[in-house]
Amino acid sequence: MYESFISDLNIFSNEFSSFIDTSNRPAILHKIKQKHIGELEDDLNIEDKKIDLYIWNAIFSKEIIRHGISKKYLHTLYNKYYVKIPTLNDLKSLQELEVEMAEAYLEFLISDVEVKDNFIVNKLLQHLHMNIESFMSLEKISEHLGITPEYASTCFKKHMGISLMKYSKKIKIDRAKVLLLTTNKSMLDIALSLGFYDQSHFSKTFKSFEGMSPSEFRNTHYN
């Protein structure tokens, strides 16, 4: 099961990075639970599991930092799990801790994604990521936060260096890339699940970011 690596093979996969990039909580938790089934079947050594969790604790921290969150905001969370891992001595408890750890880091990311000084920008980022599957106009987003579209647009561009609506499209395309490579969903299903008007709208937007159509991307990158 572990081939040449005496550890969790997912550590060497880029898939988790893609899931974190798109704040895809369901996909990450599903992967972890699938992994746990295999670990129980193989009666994974407790010490090996602890080492894997130390590595995952570092990976999650590094991925969150990569999204722009300062290390000083993460040390408490990282230290909490670094200290707790060696206190557990059965596989089930360690697996439960792994789920808790993933949930905690993901909640941290969603709540404080791309932390900036500006409170409004934080709120805009949270709203965009939490509603990635919905169609979102600048007017609707602004109304939800009780600010004017002009202020939302100016504030976001100033702090993020990209327009709010272009950023919204970017995170949708990032999620689409994950779905194209990890599911058998049709182009239409992916388009509708991410709030695009239709497949044509989705394909045009995708090509503007990636330089190729969704089907070309899937055929090129699918292993």
The dihedral of CA 90, 96, 100, 101: what is its sign? positive
Kindly state whether residues 104 and 138 are assigned to the same domain: no
**Does a structural domain hold residue 1?**
no
Kindly state whether residues 67 and 126 are assigned to the same domain: no
Kindly state whether residues 86 and 126 are assigned to the same domain: no
* 3-state SS, residue 147: coil
Kindly state whether residues 143 and 59 are assigned to the same domain: no
Token reading at 3: 């081939």
* Mean pLDDT, 10 residues at a time, the chain of 223 residues: 55 71 80 89 91 91 74 81 94 94 82 59 88 89 87 87 93 92 92 93 96 93 66
Q: What is the pLDDT of residue 186?
A: 94
Kindly state whether residues 63 and 135 are assigned to the same domain: no
Q: Which of 91, 112, 133 is the last residue of a domain?
A: 112
If one counts the domains in the chain, the total is: 2
Kindly state whether residues 132 and 216 are assigned to the same domain: yes
Do residues 191 and 185 lie in contact, with contact meaning Cβ atoms separated by under 8 Å?
no
Q: Which residues contact 117 (CB under 8 A, 6 or more apart)?
A: 159
Range of the domain at 197: 119-221
Rounded Cα–Cα distance for residues 74 and 50 (Å)? 20
Report how many helices (DSSP H) and strands (DSSP E) the chain contains, helices first: 12, 0
Q: What is the pLDDT of residue 151?
A: 84
Q: Which of 85, 112, 139 is the last residue of a domain?
A: 112
